[in-house]
Structure 1
Amino acid sequence: MNDEVPDDDVPEVRPAAPGTAVADRAVTGSEKETLHRYLKKHRAALLAKVEGLAERQARWPLTPTGTNLLGLVKHVAGVQVGYLGEVFGRPLPDSPAWLESWEGDDMYASLDETMADVIAFHHRSAAHADATIEALDLDARGAVPWWPEERREVTLHQVLVHLGYEVARHAGHADIVREMLDGTAGDGDGNLAEKSATDWVAWREHLVDVAERAGLRDLRA
C-alpha cells in the first residue's frame, strides 16, 4: 500500500466520528482550570489523528520538511515534559535521551520505537504535566533555559498559554496531515461542514475554479 497522495488524487473526505471531541463545553471553573481544559482538548484532538493508522501511515512524511503524525505526537510529548517539568524544577524521571537532542529526534519515531511506545510516552508526559499544573498556582515562577536570558523568567500562567498555543498549532498540522493520508477530517465537534463525498469533490472543484479565475485576473492586470 502506498500512502503517498498523487497531486491529481483527492482523497475522500471522511469526517471523524461524532463524539470524538473531548473537552466539556461548559465555560466554568477557575482560569487555571479553563486553560488546563483547553490544553487537554488539544492533546486529545492530536492523539485522535493517529487512531486507526498502521505504523507506516503514522510515520509517513507528507510535507517537504517531513511533517508526520507520529512525529507530531512525539514532539508535543517532549514539549510538555520541558515546559511543565524542567521549567518548574520538576524534571520527568528517567526521561529519554532524545529529549536532549536538537537534531530533530523529537520529530519522528525511530526504528527502535513503536507507535505504541510513542503514544505511551505522550500519556506519561501528559500525566507529569497535569501533576505540575495541579500542584502550582498560576503565579508560580519558573525559568525556560532554552529561551533568551532576558525573558527566561516565566509564570505557570504564561507557560499554560504558550503550551496551549503550541499544542493547538500541532493539532492543526495533524488535522491536515491525516486528511492528506486517508481523507479523515475534523474531530467530530461540529466544526466541519456536513457534506457527502460527492459534495466535497464538487466543493474542491469550485475552489479550484475560483483560484484559476483569480489567477487569470492577475495576469490581465
Structure 2
Amino acid sequence: MSDEIPDDVVPEVRPAAPGTAVTERPVTGSEKETLHRYLRKHRAALLAKVDGLAERQARWPLTPTGTNLLGLVKHVAGVQAGYLGEVFGRPLPDAPAWLESWEGDDMYATPDETMADVIAFHHRSAEHADATVAALDLDAHGTVPWWPEDRREVTLQQVLVHLGFEVARHAGHADIVREMLDGTAGDGDGNLADKSAADWVAWREHLVAVAEQAGLRDLRV
C-alpha cells in the first residue's frame, strides 16, 4: 500500500505522545548552561519527529523544495558538526564526505544510507558538539570560514545562539512535515491545544471559512 498522501486527504491531527521531546525545566544555571539546554531541547524535538516512521515516510518530500524529515535530521547533524567542530578547531573525526558538499547532499538520505545510519550520525555529531560546549568558555574564539570575511570571527556564545535558532527553525519545519505525513503534531509538552479529532476538523473548517470570507472581501475592493 502506498503511503503517499492523496491531494484531497487531510491527516487526522494526533498529538505527539508526552515525553517525546525534552521537557522544560526551571531556568537556572549559567548562561552557557541555559543556551546549551535549549539547543538540546530543540535537537530532541527534531529527532522525535522521525519516531515510528517507515524509511519511505521519513524520506518523503512534502514541499516544492523537497523538504523531508530524514533530510532535516541529516542537515542539522551536519550543521552542528560544523559550528561546534570545525569553527573551534575541533573537527569531527571521520567526517563523511558530504559535509564538504554545497550541492544539497545534506538535505536527503541517499539509497545507501538507512534511517538508523542518519540518526546514529546525528547522535555522534551531537556528542561531539556537546563536548565542545563543555570544553570551552562562552568567550572562546572561533572562525566560521563559510561566513562573509568581516563576520567570520565569532565566540562560543554567538555560535550557541545561532545554532539554537537554526535547530529550532528546522524542528518547526519537521513538526509541520510530520503533521502532513500522518497527523502527528506537537511535542507532547502541552503546547498543542487539547482537541478531539472532531474538534480539529471543525477548527480547520472554521479557518477555511475565514479565509474564504477574506478572499471575497478582496474581490469587492
- The TM-score normalised by the length of structure 1 is 0.98
Shift of 1:9: 1.0
Q: Which residue of 2 aligns with 1:59?
A: 59
- Code of the residue aligned with 2:116 in structure 1: it is A
Alignment of 1:45-194 (within 5 A): 45-194=45-194
- Whether the 8 Å CA contact 2:23–2:189 is kept in 1: the answer is no
Distance (whole Å) between structure 1 residues aligned to residue 19 and residue 123 of structure 2: 21
Give ranges in structure 1 of 5+ residues lacking alignment: none
Q: Which residue of 1 aligns with 2:6?
A: 6
Cα gap change, 1:24 to 1:193, in 2 (>3 Å): closer
Q: How much identity, in percent, do the aligned residues show?
A: 89
Distance (whole Å) between structure 2 residues aligned to residue 187 and residue 121 of structure 1: 22
What secondary structure sits across from 1:72 in the alignment?
helix
Structure 1 segments of 4 or more deviating over 6 A? none
What secondary structure sits across from 1:189 in the alignment?
coil
Q: Which residue of 1 aligns with 2:29?
A: 29
- Code of the residue aligned with 2:189 in structure 1: it is D
Shift of 1:8: 2.1
- Code of the residue aligned with 1:209 in structure 2: it is A
Shift of 1:18: 1.5
- Code of the residue aligned with 2:44 in structure 1: it is A
Shift of 1:4: 2.7
Distance (whole Å) between structure 2 residues aligned to residue 71 and residue 159 of structure 1: 22
Distance (whole Å) between structure 2 residues aligned to residue 63 and residue 198 of structure 1: 27
- The TM-score normalised by the length of structure 2 is 0.98
What secondary structure sits across from 1:193 in the alignment?
coil
- Code of the residue aligned with 1:135 in structure 2: it is A
Distance (whole Å) between structure 2 residues aligned to residue 4 and residue 215 of structure 1: 30
Distance (whole Å) between structure 2 residues aligned to residue 210 and residue 202 of structure 1: 12
- Whether the 8 Å CA contact 2:21–2:48 is kept in 1: the answer is no
Give ranges in structure 2 of 5+ residues lacking alignment: none
What secondary structure sits across from 1:198 in the alignment?
helix
Distance (whole Å) between structure 2 residues aligned to residue 41 and residue 54 of structure 1: 24
Shift of 1:5: 2.3
What secondary structure sits across from 1:91 in the alignment?
coil
Cα gap change, 1:169 to 1:93, in 2 (>3 Å): same
Q: Deviations over 1:115-165 (max 9, x none)?
A: 000000000000000000000000000000000001100000000000000
Distance (whole Å) between structure 2 residues aligned to residue 3 and residue 78 of structure 1: 28
What secondary structure sits across from 1:109 in the alignment?
coil
Count of aligned residue pairs for this structure pair = 221
Shift of 1:25: 1.9
- Whether the 8 Å CA contact 1:88–1:141 is kept in 2: the answer is yes
- Whether the 8 Å CA contact 1:84–1:129 is kept in 2: the answer is yes
- Whether the 8 Å CA contact 1:23–1:38 is kept in 2: the answer is no
- Code of the residue aligned with 2:167 in structure 1: it is V
Q: Deviations over 1:162-189 (max 9, x none)?
A: 0000000000000000000000000111
